[in-house]
Amino acid sequence: MNSTLKLWTTLGLGTALAGGLLAACGGEAGGEAGAGEAGIAPDSAATAGEGEGGSGPGEGGGESAGGEGEGGVATADAAKDPVAYGIALAVTEAHVTAARDAYAAGKKQAAGEMFAHPVSEVLLDMDPAFTALGVADFKPTLTAASEAALDGKSVAEVGKAHDAIIAALRGAATKAPKSDASAAKVEASVIADMIERASTMYRSLPKNDSYEPYLDGYGFAAVAASHFAASGAAIKAENPALHARIAEALALLKQAYPGAARPANLPVEPGALSGASAKVMLAAGN
């Protein structure tokens, strides 16, 4: 069975034909109405439909913004708003990071699906922004990674496919739109959004034992941490209180998401993560 047919069988032939590689992660694409100011996912939208069990309708098919706990991505604003643009890239990065780590943990089917998710959830709706900003189409890199995972390629080969996506995302980041906001403020807003998404996913887990919402949250937490490692010094110089709140939230998220494999018992009280995320949002002025 070839990899493309496997992918269509996994994700549904109708959605595959409609958008390329569509999937059923919750509420990330086409969700302009579900995003808050500057693309930040508000808590009220994020809690509208908690959990990502993969049983709901795909993003290309009319599920409301904010469905299943992720709050949407303001793709309509991305060509002019560096925060919305950065969030779109970070959501994509979160999915492929989670996919790579899930594959290494032996979760091959979940990894193949996770590599494919951003195509429908974010990238199809980002096409106009990417065209306006001169970003070449890199959706095929996600297709290739998904097919490699579903075909059972080696961890090293899947890792290379992941790295190709990350390289494309880094290239796209250099084309981000300009604004009056400092680079540190933009990055802090993106990190705050990733923290809130990770927290929202975690809040869904006590009532949802499926793997996908955990894996999504793991990816958001991982990307928040990696972005903070790169920009934390600049954020601290500009807003020490925000830096401290982010560090506190990320310390909790590291406990909550100890790895790509979901633990048998949740190690952190979900309310603690909600509180930490709220403090980040408050310090960020969102």
What does the alpha-carbon distance between residue 84 and residue 77 come to, in Å, rounded to a whole number?
A: 6
State yes or no: pLDDT of 96 exceeds 70.
yes
The string of pLDDT tens digits covering residues 6-30 is 443 334 333 333 333 333 454 433 3
Q: Taking the chain, what is the end-to-end CA distance rounded to the nearest angstrom?
A: 48
Query: Comparing 5 with 221, which gets the higher pLDDT?
Result: 221
56-60, 78-82, 158-162: range with lowest mean pLDDT:
56-60
The residues, any chain, with a CB within 8 Å of residue 47's CB and separated by 6 or more, are 69, 200, 203
Better-predicted residue by pLDDT, 148 or 9: 148
- DSSP structure class, residue 63: P
pLDDT tens readout for residues 101-133: 999 999 999 999 999 999 999 999 999 999 999
In this structure, which amino acid lies at residue 188? A
Helix, strand, coil percent content, the chain, rounded in steps of 5: 70, 0, 30
Average pLDDT over residues 65-71: 34
Question: Average pLDDT over the chain, rounded to whole?
Answer: 81
Report the percentage of the chain scoring pLDDT > 90: 74
Report the distance separating Cα 286 and Cα 27, nearest Å: 20
The answer to whether 89 touches 173, Cβ cutoff 8 Å, is: yes
Domain segments of the chain: what residues?
A: 28-53+67-284
**139, amino acid identity:** K
Candidates 179, 172, 266; CA nearest to 218 is 266
Q: What is the reported pLDDT for 286?
A: 63
Do residues 276 and 244 make contact, with C-beta atoms less than 8 angstroms apart?
no
